[in-house]
Chains A and B, each alone.
Chain A
Amino acid sequence: MGELATSAVAGDVLVSLGLGSCIGLALLDRRLGVAGLAHVVLPSSGGNAPLGSWKFADYAVPELVDRVVKLGARRPMLEAVLVGGASMFAVSKSSLEVGQRNEAAVRELLREQHINVIAKETGGSRGRTIRVYVGSNKVTVKEAGGTEKPLIAGASVVAA
């Protein structure tokens, strides 16, 4: 929770296990095989969280963009995949809000950075795992008791 990971090494797999109301945000430069994954817990820090509080969308999204760019990704080529943002407890109104608000916050921040969301599996009431296969650019999602299914099929692009 609240972690960021990036890689430009083909064969690496970035993963967030069992996302509930949290959002797994993957950023990809598919031509260069650079990818990043953030595990966003809450939509907003309220502006007074210490540096490094990557669990907040408003801190994590710009930081993840910076980190993948530092690894060689080209900013205009970045594309996003969103997974999570569920409301696990149907009766609990507040948890429903957290998931939806997380997704809305992440989407707004991506819009500000002019990054398109090319695939997503969000909302509902199921937990999910996201895996990002660096190099092949495949992104998969898996639900409890389900199988891993591709959100982006990926291609055998070799990192430059």
Chain B
Amino acid sequence: MTRYTDTQLDALRELANIGSGTASTALSGMLGKSVDISVPNAFVLPMAEAVGSIGDPESDSTGVVLGIVGEMPGSVLLLFTPKDAELMCGLLGVEAGSEYGISALMEIGNIVGASYINALGQMIGMELEPTPPAAATDMLGAIVQSVLAERAGAGDVALLLDSDLVVEGEDCSVSFLLVPDQGGVEQMLERLGV
């Protein structure tokens, strides 16, 4: 099993921090509200435990996923609880669960995810491009597992950089995960020099 030092995990958290900072600015501009970010977590976990660390696998969730293509392939996954999806959609004036609601969440995913990916690419000096978003409303476990399955390849561990964006005064947040393809973590650490 791959292990990372505390220094390396700190560096990865810092990457997530700057990425989510940029993403929060993008979300703030879209919603017209100020958006705070939580301190990101960096987990390196056996795949068997990765899903459970995020939440109850059977809980309802809406996931918006963007692929990352370029020098470091991977995925960014945004997760909304039903309550957060409803509040976010409300802020944009559409009804959650409707076609417009899903489309609004995908647009949030697109803007937040793409700015996160761009910030990440600039920090590590790599050409990274987002692919268009796709959305699913289902069990949390099914959503996260499908992204991990697609990305983890031969590896037995998953790196999850977990950040929360919190919309001020609305008590609603979106959490998101960066899941690099196998080997992507090493590439990032190498570029960061740790």
Contact indicator per residue, chain A 9-30, by CB within 8 Å of chain B (1) or not (0)? 0000000011111100000000
A107 within 8 Å of B (CB atoms) = no
Q: How many Å lie between the Cα of A83 and that of B135 in the bound state? A: 22
* A interface secondary structure, majority: loop
Q: A interface vs B, CB < 8 Å?
A: 1-3, 17-22, 41-42, 45-46, 48-49, 53, 55, 86-92, 94-95, 98-99, 125-129, 142-145
With A1-B47, A1-B51, A144-B60 in contact, is A89–B142 under 8 Å at CB?
no
With A19-B142, A88-B138, A88-B142 in contact, is A41–B154 under 8 Å at CB?
no
Q: How many Å lie between the Cα of A1 and that of B156 in the bound state? A: 10
Q: Which residue of A lies closest to B49 (CB)?
A: A1
Q: B interface vs A, CB < 8 Å?
A: 47-48, 50-51, 57-58, 60, 63, 65, 67, 132-150, 152-154, 156
In the assembled complex, the CB of B83 is this many whole angstroms from the nearest CB of chain A, namely 15
Instruction: Assess whether A127 is in contact with B141, with CB atoms less than 8 Å apart.
Output: yes
Instruction: Assess whether B142 is in contact with A46, with CB atoms less than 8 Å apart.
Output: no
Instruction: Assess whether B138 is in contact with A22, with CB atoms less than 8 Å apart.
Output: no
Q: How many Å lie between the Cα of A143 and that of B67 in the bound state? A: 26
Instruction: Assess whether A1 is in contact with B148, with CB atoms less than 8 Å apart.
Output: yes
Q: Which residues of B contact A48 (CB under 8 A)?
A: 154
Q: Which residues of B contact A42 (CB under 8 A)?
A: 149, 153
Q: How many Å lie between the Cα of A18 and that of B144 in the bound state? A: 9
20 other contacts beyond A20-B146, A41-B47, A144-B58, with CB at 8 A cut-off?
A1-B145, A18-B51, A20-B145, A41-B148, A49-B154, A87-B146, A88-B143, A89-B65, A89-B134, A89-B135, A89-B136, A90-B136, A91-B132, A91-B134, A92-B134, A94-B150, A125-B136, A126-B142, A129-B141, A144-B138
